[in-house]
Chains A and B, each alone.
Chain A
Amino acid sequence: KQEVTQIPAALSVPEGENLVLNCSFTDSAIYNLQWFRQDPGKGLTSLLLIQSSQREQTSGRLNASLDKSSGRSTLYIAASQPGDSATYLCAALLIGANSKLTFGKGITLSVRP
């Protein structure tokens, strides 16, 4: 059974700092790994999707990497801003028909002005 872990559960940083959010998963037979952002009381916004054959994906100030062999993914946020404050979730999709996303519990990020 796939397990996805995100540590720490919460993080507070000053504005402008570059930061790394970590995600680990136990089963490396994944189709892809996806990072989401969730604002309080809202739905999830897809940030980046990394296919299993890829090492990283970039979108603006965000860069996500994937190391299947070690069961790790990281989300790098450059020059953090108060507007980046949200909960960030990673989710892994196992290979197989009818496979479902397995989510981590998320990291709640607070960027202080």
Chain B
Amino acid sequence: SAVISQKPSRDICQRGTSLTIQCQVDSQVTMMFWYRQQPGQSLTLIATANQGSEATYESGFVIDKFPISRPNLTFSTLTVSNMSPEDSSIYLCSVRTSGYEQYFGPGTRLTVT
């Protein structure tokens, strides 16, 4: 299994600012992901965070808006840049273990005013 922590757990931010979300895992994992869940919706994959190289973004998501860092096998950050109210969502960090089971962090609830 994997235990994931995220910081902050929630934040209220002003339009045009940026927020960086941290994700820490209690064990080394190869595959780490960032998801977004808009109100009342299912999860949407933003990107796969690759250790030591640039993240792989899904269609509709770009690095300028959602820069991701992955300096090692237990830590990653997601920045939501130049925020607008449409970015108000829960942002979730997730990892996949060697047994192909996927675990999720507690989420960061972001409100943009």
Interface size on B, residues (CB 8 A): 22
Bound: A100/B41 CA distance, A: 18
Number of interface residues of A (CB under 8 A): 21
Interface of B is mostly: strand
Contact B92 A44 (CB under 8 A): yes
B100 x A46 contact (CB < 8 A): no
- In the bound complex, do residue A43 and residue B102 qualify as a contact, i.e. CB atoms below 8 Å apart? no
Return the 7 tightest CB-CB contacts between A and B, nearest first.
A44-B104, A43-B107, A43-B106, A43-B104, A105-B42, A49-B101, A103-B42
Binding site for B on A (CB under 8 A): 31-32, 34, 36, 41-46, 49, 89, 91, 93, 98, 100-101, 103-106
Q: What would be 27 A-B contacts, judged by CB atoms less than 8 Å apart? A: A31-B100, A32-B100, A32-B101, A36-B104, A41-B107, A41-B109, A42-B106, A43-B4, A43-B6, A43-B104, A44-B92, A44-B94, A44-B104, A45-B104, A46-B101, A46-B104, A89-B42, A89-B43, A93-B100, A98-B48, A98-B56, A100-B48, A103-B42, A103-B43, A105-B41, A105-B42, A106-B42
